[in-house]
Amino acid sequence: MKPIIKEDIVSAFRSLGLTKGAVVMVHTSLSKIGYVCGGAQTVIEALIETVGQEGTIIMPTQSWKNLDPEDGVHWDVEEEYRQIIRDHWPAYDKRLTPTNTMGAVAEMFRLWPGTLRSDHPARSVAAWGKHAEYLTSGHDLSDIFGDASPIGKLYRLKGDVLLIGVGYDKNTSLHLADVRADYPGKHNCVEYSAIMENGKRVWKEYETLYVDGEDFEEIGADFERAETVGKTTLGNAELRLMNQPRLVDFAVDWISRHRR
């Protein structure tokens, strides 16, 4: 396949309807695209060139390995050694802590000049541009994906979601619908993460909504039958651009009617 250059990516974004001044949450699988000349750097530069200085880019930069091993996130460690992880896992540092399975683009984006990162030790986001400070500030431990979270703030900004080579199972905004919808079995859970508190590393307990996203692909398929979603291809990857509030509103209704 012919190498993909920045101009190809910008052209694809513009064909979807992504414009200057857009506020967009981006989920990316670089490997699904194919050979991108310059890799993750080129994708980020294309995003910035497309939305401009008046726009805003936000990406998930989750470090979910900073959760209790009881949750299954450290599957490669025997149960008898779990307490070692609780005692020694490094406290979250938004300048240093790497992402976990968020992809090469998100991992580079968190280090990009001018990018800010939220304070949640396991479910952080990073943002660049006009609304970056607003989106990343005040990310409460117990409000991971709710109305006061970065996802809820994106909703208030009437932002968009851009999927690059990934499906709706990676579409974090659907978790806001989890929070807003009423459905049988909805419940909270307790999580733990290593954080710095008063200058000291602590293993912090916090309560949050339990979500798993197992029906997100089904929600996405029904959403695309009901609403307009911009689509194009870039190399081997399918790109989708959608309005986030419309997606969330649709998903709230879908979850309320279908989850049992």
Q: Output the CA torsion sign for 68, 70, 74, 78.
A: positive
C-alpha pair distances (Å), 200 with each of 93, 195, 196, 251: 13, 8, 5, 41
| Structure tokens, 127 | 């943002």
Which residue has tokens 């001018």?
114
- Nearest Cα residue to 250 out of 124, 125, 155: 155
44 vs 1: CA distance, rounded Å: 21
Residues 45-63 as b or e (16 or more Cβ within 10 Å = b): ebbbbbbeeebbbbbbbbb
Contact at 8 Å (CB) between 259 and 187? no
Work out the number of other CB atoms within 10 angstroms of the CB of residue 88: 10
Q: What mean pLDDT do residues 126-150 have?
A: 97
Q: What is the pTM assigned to this prediction?
A: 0.96
| Structure tokens, 34 | 């194919």
Q: pLDDT tens for residues 143-168?
A: 999 999 999 999 999 999 999 999 99
Element (H, E) at 45: helix 39-51
Q: pLDDT tens for residues 46-91?
A: 999 999 999 999 999 999 999 999 989 999 999 999 999 999 999 9
Q: pLDDT tens for residues 209-247?
A: 998 889 999 999 999 999 999 999 999 999 999 999 999
Local structure of residue 96 (DSSP, 8 states): T
List beta partners, residue 36: 4
The pLDDT, as a whole number, for residue 89 is 97
- Nearest Cα residue to 119 out of 182, 206, 44: 206
- Name the 3-class secondary structure at 190: strand
Q: What mean pLDDT do residues 12-16 have?
A: 98
